[in-house]
Amino acid sequence: MKKIGLAGILLFAIMLICQSWGFYGHRRINRMAVFTLPPKMVSFYKENIEFVTAHAVDPDKRRYASKGEAPRHYIDIDHYAKEGQNPFEIMPRRWFDAVDKFSEDTLQAYGIVPWHIARMTNWLTKAFEEKDVNRILSISADIGHYIGDAHVPLHTTENYNGQLTNQKGIHGLWESRIPELTADEYDYLVGRAKYLDKPLDLIWEAVEESHSYLDSVLLIEKDLTKKISPDRKYVFESKGASTTRQYSRDYALAYDQRMEGMVESRMRKAIVMVGSIWYTAWVNAGQPDLGAFGKANEELLAKERKEAEEAFKKREIKGRGHDN
C-alpha cells in the first residue's frame, strides 16, 4: 500500500467538497437534457451543447468566490421538523410565506434550492424575452446544476455527508463515485420535456421524493460497511503526482446494486426536469424564434466568470462544503 501524503489527502477532500453529482454527473445531466427539447428549441441548444455541458459546473465553482452561493444547492428540510413530523407539511412552499414563518436568515442558513430554481426560471423567461443569448445559455446551464442537486437525497438533510451518523464521505460516494463508474450504462431515453403549469410545485415534489430516499441511502451504506473490511472498502489511486484514498470500485458498485438503481433513476428524472424548465421558460416568453440566436459569446462570459475561476483554483471554499 502506498503512503498517502498531505497533498493526496487535500486532493481527496477537494474532490468531495466541490463535486455535487460530480462534475461528470452535472455535465451529463445538462447534455442529455438538450435531447428532451421540442424541434423549435433543440437546434439552438444543440448548437450550444458544449457550452451548457461545460458550464454545468459553474455554480460549484462560484462556491469558492461567494459565501451566498452555497445555500442555493440544498435544503436541510429535516431541520424544520421534530421526530415523527413531516417537514413538508410544516414548510410553506411559497417563499414569502416561508420567510414569514421562519425568517430569511433561517432559510438561507439551511438552504433555498427549490425557491432559487423557481426564481431562475423567471430569469430565464426574461432572457428569452430579451433575446439575450449569453444570459439564456448561462441561466440554462446554472438551472441544470441546481435541479440536479435537488434530485440528490443528501441535498435535503442536515446529515448531508453522513457526518451525524459516522458515515462521513457518503456524499461523494453517492453522487460522484457511483456515476463515474456506472453512468455510461444508464438509459437516457427519458422522454420529452413538458410544459409545467406550476414549476415551483414540481420542484418541491422532486425535493420531497429525493428526501424519501434518504433513509435507504444511509441505512444501506451502514449495513454494507458492516459486511466489508476497510481494506476492501477503500483503495489508493494515483492521480498525477498524488496518491488519493477512494472508495473501491467493488464497494461502490455493491452499494449501487443494493440501492436498486436509485442513482440512475434520480439522474434520469433530473434530466427531464431540466429540459422541462428550459421549455417552460421559453413558452412563457412567447416562444421566440431561436433560429437566429446563434452561439454564446465565450470571451465575454469568460470575463464575467473570472473571479469564480480564480477562486476555484485556490480551493478555498466559502460557505458550507459537502464534507464539513
How does pLDDT run along the chain (324 residues), one tens digit per residue? 333 343 333 333 333 334 457 788 999 999 999 999 999 999 999 999 999 999 999 999 888 778 889 999 999 999 999 989 999 999 999 999 999 999 999 999 999 999 999 999 999 999 999 999 999 999 999 999 999 999 999 999 999 999 999 999 999 999 999 999 999 999 999 999 999 999 999 999 999 999 999 999 999 999 999 999 988 999 988 777 778 889 999 999 999 999 999 999 999 999 999 999 999 999 999 999 999 888 877 776 666 666 655 655 655 555 665 544
pTM: 0.88
Check: CATH 1.10.575.10 for 6-314?
A: yes
The residues, ordered by sequence, that sit 6+ positions from 167 with a Cβ below 8 Å of its Cβ are 161, 218, 221, 222, 225
Using CA atoms, how far apart are residues 151 and 14, in angstroms rounded to an integer? 22
Using CA atoms, how far apart are residues 133 and 249, in angstroms rounded to an integer? 41
For the chain, the structural domain boundaries read 6-314
Main-chain dihedrals φ then ψ at residue 236, nearest 5 degrees: -110, 125
The whole-number pLDDT of residue 110 equals 98
Q: What does the block give as the cell for 43?
A: 437546434
The whole-number pLDDT of residue 209 equals 98
The whole-number pLDDT of residue 131 equals 95
Using CA atoms, how far apart are residues 54 and 26, in angstroms rounded to an integer? 9
Q: What angle do CA 71, 73, 77 make, to 5 degrees?
A: 75
The whole-number pLDDT of residue 15 equals 38
Q: What does the block give as the cell for 79?
A: 431541520
Using CA atoms, how far apart are residues 199 and 163, in angstroms rounded to an integer? 32
The whole-number pLDDT of residue 230 equals 87
Find, among 323, 241, 243, 282, the residue nearest to 39 by Cα: 282
Report whether 196 contacts 202 (CB < 8 A): yes
Using CA atoms, how far apart are residues 87 and 90, in angstroms rounded to an integer? 5
